[in-house]
Every structure is written in C-alpha cells, then in structure tokens.
C-alpha cells in the first residue's frame, strides 16, 4: 500500500511503532471550533470523541484561548519554587468541588502521573505496596500504572513494583457472574473481594476504581456495588481511590464526579483527574485529605505539573463549564443522544448493548448470535462514520469491540441528532 500522506511516512520513521493511530488512512487534524474539527484535506468532522475526552467544553473556546494567550504573553514557566497565582486559584476551586474534607490537590501533567502520585501517597500512608484494582481497568501506561491496569491489552509490561490483586465487579456482560441479577452479582463480587483480602491479609493500601470504566468500554458495576465494597474496605482501613479521569467534571450528567453515583459512604479518600479539565492542555491532578497528601515529604513530583499556562486554561475552562451548566447539558442532551442511539441500533444484529450516562455512551458489538466480541465490526463502523463526517472512539476489553461516544459537553440537540444519523448510516456496513 502506498503511503496516503507524506506526514504518515515521516511519522513512522521517527516515532514508536506502538503509538496508536486510528483509521487505515490516519487523519491530520488542523483546527477545531465548537464540536467540529477539520483535517488537512479540508474535511469537516463532528467530533464525538474529543481527543479521548480531552476537549471538555468546546474546541477553540474563546475564554480558554484568551486565558492561554494572556498568560503566555506574561510568563511561561515551571510550577515549583515560587508562588503561582493561577495554580492556587484552580486548587481553591477543585478542593471545594471535590467533596473531600480538608482537601489538598497536587497538579500533574497527565492522568497517568496523577494515578502514579495517588499510588505513591496511598502506599506511603498505609506502608503497603499491595493494591486492589478492578478487572478490565485502565489507569495509565507508566511503569506503576500498568501494574494496576487489569486490561492487559493496554499493558506494555507486567513487571510491576506493586503487588496487585484484581477484583471482579465492573464488567456485567462477560465473566463468571454475567448471568446474575444485580443483587446476586453484587454479593458474588463482595465475596470475591473478601477472598482477595484474605490473600492480601487485610494489608492492602488502597482499591483504585473508575466509576465507569473508560477504556474498558464505558462499563460500570450495578448501583450499590462500590458502596458495598467501601463497607468491607473501611473495616480494614483500606483507602478508596476514585479515578475520575474520564468521569469527572459533570460528564455523566447526573453527577459532577462519578463517585457520587456510589456515594452511600461519602467521598473517596483520593480522587484523580485529568483529560477534560485542561480542554486539551496537559493538566491532571490528585485530591486527598491533608493527612494523606502530607504523609510524604518531598519538594514536588516533577517540574511542570501546575505550570501557569495550563492552570490559566483550566481555570477558564472550569469557569465556563460551571457558568453554562454543562453538566445539565450533558444530562439533557446525553439522555436524548442515548435515546437516538438505541433507536438507531435497534435491529442491528451485531449490537449487544447500548449503554451510557450523560455524554458517555457506548455501543457494544458481538458476532451476531454469539457472545464473542467483534473488533472487525467495530473498526468497520469507525471507518464508515469517519467517511460520513463523524469521529468516534473504540474501547472494550482486550478485544476492543465497543464504540465509544463522548462529545464535548456543549453538544447541541441538533448535533446529537446529526451524529446519530451518521452512525445509523455507518452501522449499515455491518448489517
């Protein structure tokens, strides 16, 4: 096959083979506005994936562009050693929003680094290198975070310095408990957790969980399962880390944080975030109670987390989100989008399930008449959607057969309907 673009062959000469690129003919994006992006050939796409949920509010949001330009015009700098006004302002906002009492926040440049830091804190606080993580989870690809990522498709190595136990509970559609109703599923998962704790001799530092598994295919446990887990863990003093990298900032519509859907026993001990808060700029972080945050004694973790330009972007982006009630928009437009997606998928034999909360929707594909995931069908729909002018994502277990839809939270009703129409056409390729 000839190279479709010179940039692709240049990319392949100098970048790692494992750097993922979507599509048989990868896209070079040149600019964006609102919920749309354009490629180097001048094609316009409705963006239903937002750079893997990084475009939280909208592309080229004027307030963010202005805040970045103004801060960049004044000072581009590291985040450490000197007082940093945009960082303090963002920390004030996020600690207040976190729901965690006496909260402190530490800023990082990514979700991976946020989870790294959460592991550092939890293991130091509990003096244990044992971590509980969910099967099918994704928490990053650095050396420590691959060690807590249950989804092996995303792990470059399993030579982790952590001792990790994987727990059942987040995946409903396959595995030993798949046929059980919610109550029996929850009881089985709690029994599994208790068995694992027996092996860990109660000494684990923390359990880390995504309220809705993102890379794993937007799958979540039955309501009440994480609360039941918390009761068991609280008895042992084991910390709860909520990875909100995909579920934070109101994306799920009904709640500002994903943990609030499981809030019977209050906020998590630690919360990690990234992706959308910077609207594409690299901002991540971890929030924890002061006694946990301050259990280590260090100058910083790196030079750049919390740097003024990224903090300015995040402050402007968060203010826009709150002022325009984009969580409410996620609930309303997300509800309508889910309805449309269900209608569009009805009668498509490969569709096993359409699920979602707010503006986080998924279509799971299997080989018709079987339980086997169908990654080829997922790729075919992804390509056809692109040809129709719609960008979506893929995810799921090791077999990646879930279509993921997570547009910017300012999505309009008209755009939701347009996206569903394009998807209906794309699904014809597998019908």
Q: Which of 37, 146, 215, 363 binds ligand PMP (CB under 6 A)?
A: 215
Question: What is the pattern of x (binds ligand PMP, CB under 6 A) and - over residues 85-114?
Answer: -------------------------xxx--
Taking the C-alpha atoms of residue 190 and residue 230, their distance in angstroms, rounded to an integer, is 10
Question: What is the pattern of x (binds ligand PMP, CB under 6 A) and - over residues 308-347?
Answer: ----------------------------------------
Least spacing, CB of residue 405 vs ligand PMP, in Å: 15
Least spacing, CB of residue 240 vs ligand PMP, in Å: 15
Least spacing, CB of residue 215 vs ligand PMP, in Å: 5
Applying CB under 6 A, which part among 10-18, 222-230, 241-249, 342-350 lies near ligand PMP?
A: 241-249
Kindly state whether residue 397 participates in binding ligand PMP, applying the rule CB under 6 A: no
Kindly state whether residue 50 participates in binding ligand PMP, applying the rule CB under 6 A: no
Q: Which of 100, 146, 274, 378 binds ligand PMP (CB under 6 A)?
A: 274
Kindly state whether residue 37 participates in binding ligand PMP, applying the rule CB under 6 A: no
360/411 with CB nearer ligand PMP? 360
Least spacing, CB of residue 210 vs ligand PMP, in Å: 5
Least spacing, CB of residue 336 vs ligand PMP, in Å: 25
Q: Which of 35, 139, 230, 355 binds ligand PMP (CB under 6 A)?
A: 139
C-alpha neighbours within 13 Å on the C-beta side of residue 120:
19
The 10 Å Cβ neighbour count of residue 386 is 21
Number of residues this chain uses to bind ligand PMP (CB under 6 A): 17
211/253 with CB nearer ligand PMP? 211
Kindly state whether residue 305 participates in binding ligand PMP, applying the rule CB under 6 A: no
71/115 with CB nearer ligand PMP? 115
230/275 with CB nearer ligand PMP? 275
User: For residue 366, what are its two tokens?
Assistant: 């299997």
Residue 428, judged by CB atoms within 10 A of its CB (0-12, 13-18, 19+), counts as exposed
Taking the C-alpha atoms of residue 348 and residue 364, their distance in angstroms, rounded to an integer, is 11
Own/partner contacts of 227-233, CB < 8 Å, gap of 24 or more, are 227/262, 227/263, 227/264, 227/265, 228/186, 228/189, 228/190, 229/167, 229/169, 229/189, 229/190, 229/193, 230/262, 230/264, 230/265, 231/265, 232/190, 232/193, 232/194, 232/197, 233/207
Locus of tokens 């994502």 = 393
**Residue of closest CB approach to ligand PMP:** 111
Kindly state whether residue 276 participates in binding ligand PMP, applying the rule CB under 6 A: no
Locus of tokens 């269900």 = 342
Applying CB under 6 A, which part among 5-13, 136-144, 307-315, 347-355 lies near ligand PMP?
A: 136-144
Q: Which of 50, 51, 147, 214 binds ligand PMP (CB under 6 A)?
A: 214
Kindly state whether residue 138 participates in binding ligand PMP, applying the rule CB under 6 A: yes
Question: What is the pattern of x (binds ligand PMP, CB under 6 A) and - over residues 173-212?
Answer: -------------------------------------x--
Least spacing, CB of residue 212 vs ligand PMP, in Å: 9
Q: Which of 140, 248, 253, 397 binds ligand PMP (CB under 6 A)?
A: 140
64/209 with CB nearer ligand PMP? 209
Kindly state whether residue 47 participates in binding ligand PMP, applying the rule CB under 6 A: no
Kindly state whether residue 243 participates in binding ligand PMP, applying the rule CB under 6 A: yes
Applying CB under 6 A, which part among 155-163, 201-209, 243-251, 336-344 lies near ligand PMP?
A: 243-251
User: For residue 189, what are its two tokens?
Assistant: 């998962």
Residues that bind ligand PMP (CB under 6 A): 52, 110-112, 115, 138-140, 210, 214-215, 243, 245-246, 274-275, 284
């Amino acid at each position: 096959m000839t190279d479709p673009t010179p940039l692709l062959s240049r990319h392949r000469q100098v970048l790692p083979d494992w750097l993922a690129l979507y599509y048989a003919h990868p896209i070079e994006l040149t600019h964006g506005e609102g919920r749309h992006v354009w490629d180097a050939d001048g094609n316009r796409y409705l963006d239903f994936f937002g750079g893997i949920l990084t475009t939280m509010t909208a592309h080229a949001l004027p307030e963010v562009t202005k805040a970045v330009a103004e801060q960049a015009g004044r000072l581009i700098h590291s985040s450490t050693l000197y007082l940093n006004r945009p960082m303090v302002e963002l920390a004030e906002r996020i600690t207040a929003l976190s729901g965690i009492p006496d909260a402190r926040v530490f800023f990082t440049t990514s979700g991976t680094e946020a989870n790294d830091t959460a592991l550092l804190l939890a293991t130091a606080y509990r003096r244990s290198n044992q971590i509980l993580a969910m099967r099918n989870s994704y928490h990053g690809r650095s050396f420590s975070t691959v060690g807590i990522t249950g989804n092996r498709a995303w792990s470059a190595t399993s030579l982790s310095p952590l001792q990790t136990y994987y727990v059942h509970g987040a995946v409903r559609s396959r595995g030993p408990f798949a046929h059980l109703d919610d109550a029996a599923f929850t009881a089985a998962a709690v029994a599994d957790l208790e068995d694992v704790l027996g092996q860990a001799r109660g000494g684990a530092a923390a359990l880390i969980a995504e309220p809705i598994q993102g890379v794993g295919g937007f799958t979540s446990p039955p309501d009440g399962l994480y609360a039941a887990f918390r009761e068991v863990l609280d008895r042992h003093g084991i910390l709860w880390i909520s990875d909100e990298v995909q579920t934070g900032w109101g994306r799920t519509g009904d709640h500002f944080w994903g943990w609030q859907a499981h809030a019977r026993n209050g906020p998590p001990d630690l919360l990690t975030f990234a992706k959308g808060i910077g609207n594409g700029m690299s901002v991540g972080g971890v929030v924890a109670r002061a006694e946990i945050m301050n259990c280590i004694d260090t100058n910083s973790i790196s030079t750049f987390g919390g740097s003024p330009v990224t903090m300015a972007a995040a402050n402007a982006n968060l203010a826009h989100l709150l002022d325009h009630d984009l969580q409410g928009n996620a609930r309303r437009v997300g509800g309508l989008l889910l309805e449309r997606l269900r209608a569009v998928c009805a009668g498509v034999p490969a569709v096993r399930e359409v699920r979602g909360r707010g503006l986080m929707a998924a279509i799971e594909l299997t080989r018709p008449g079987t339980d086997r995931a169908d990654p080829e069908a997922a790729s075919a729909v992804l390509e056809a959607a692109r040809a129709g002018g719609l960008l979506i994502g893929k995810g799921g277990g090791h077999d990646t057969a879930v279509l993921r839809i997570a547009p910017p939270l300012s999505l309009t009703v008209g755009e939701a309907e347009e996206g569903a129409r394009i998807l209906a056409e794309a699904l014809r390729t597998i019908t």
